[in-house]
Amino acid sequence: MGLAPSAPQPSQISTKNVNKSWIASAPQIHSQKTKAAAATTTTKLHVKSLPQLKPKRLVIIVTPTSTKLPYQNVFLRRLANTIKLVDQPLLWIVVEAKTDSKELPEILRKTGIMYRHVVYSEEFMDLEAELNHQRNLALGHIEHHRLSGIVHFAGLSNVYDLQFFQQLRDIEVFGTWPTALLLANRKRVIIEGPVCDSSKVIGWHLRNMNNETITSPIHISSFAFNSSILWDPERWGRTSSVKDTSQA
C-alpha cells in the first residue's frame, strides 16, 4: 500500500549563517522632542576682530629746478628713481621756469610717480632768489588746493634713505633732524641740526668738522611740516589768504 504524499510544508529559513548586511535594519524612530532640540541648536562662532589700520599720510615732495643748475636732468632722474620706490601715497611737485623745452615734462611722465608740474614766467638773474620763488609757488599751490599731507623740500642734489620717507609720515606738526652737507670741492663736511627741549625746537646749531661756528642759513631740506599749517586758519590761529578753495 503506497503512502499518500504529505502536504507541502512552509520552508523554514535560518538566519544563523546569513550575511546580516543584506538584511535591512529596523527603522529608528526619533521623538518629536529630539527633532525640536536639533532644530533649535545654534553654533556660536568666535571671530577675532582685526586691528584698525591707520591710513598712511600723503607725503608732498617739493623740488625746485633751474636750467642754471648743472646736470639738472641727470639729478632729476636720480631723485625720481628714489622717490618711485617710496610707498604710496606720495605727490611730487616740481617747479621750473616756463620754457619751450619738453624734456623735463617727458622725464616726469616716464617716472610713474604722481606729480604736479608748476611753471612760471618771471625771470631771475640770481639762482637763490629763483629757487625761493619756486618754493613759494609750490606752497601757494598746496594752500590753494588744500593738499593735506607732510611737506618736505627735496633738492636735486639730495641723497636719501628710503626709511626717511616713512618717518616723515610720523610727523604731527613740525619735524626736523640733523643734516650732513658734503662740499666735494672743498673736501669739507658741514653738520647742522636742531637744539631741542623735549618735543620743542628751541635753537639750531651749525658747525663743521673743525667745530667752527657757521652763520649760514638753515638748510631748506632739514625739516618737514604738516601742510594744514598753510590752509587751516582755525586750527593754527592765522588768517588764510585763500577763500573758498578745495582740494583738487
Predicted confidence at residue 13, as pLDDT, reads 44
Alpha helices in 146-238 (DSSP H): 162-168, 228-231, 233-236
Higher pLDDT, 69 or 153: 153
3-state class percentages of the chain: helix first, strand second, coil last, to nearest 5:
25, 25, 50
pLDDT surpassing 60 at residue 137 = yes
pLDDT at position 135 is 96
Among 120, 119, 121, 106, smallest CA distance to 76 is for: 106
The helix/strand/coil state of 152 is: strand
* Cα 168 from Cα 174, distance rounded (Å): 10
pLDDT surpassing 70 at residue 6: no
Average pLDDT over residues 169-176: 92
User: Mean of the pLDDT values across residues 179-188?
Assistant: 75
Residue of 228 and 194 predicted with greater confidence = 228
CA distance 91 to 60: 5
What does DSSP say about strands 188-197 and 179-183: parallel, antiparallel, or unpaired? antiparallel
Q: For the chain, how many residues are written?
A: 248
Convert 209-233 to b/e letters by CB count within 10 Å (16 or more is b): eeeeeeeeeebbbbbbbbbbbbbbe
Coil/strand/helix, residue 22: helix
In the predicted structure, residue 105 carries a pLDDT above the cut 70:
yes
Question: Does pTM surpass 0.85?
Answer: no
DSSP state of 21: G
The pLDDT of residue 12 is 47
Indicate the average pLDDT of the chain. 79
* Greatest mean pLDDT range, 11-20, 46-55, 154-163: 154-163
Greatest mean pLDDT range, 40-44, 209-213, 222-226:
222-226
Domains of the chain: 59-175+222-236 (3.90.550.10), 178-217 (no CATH)
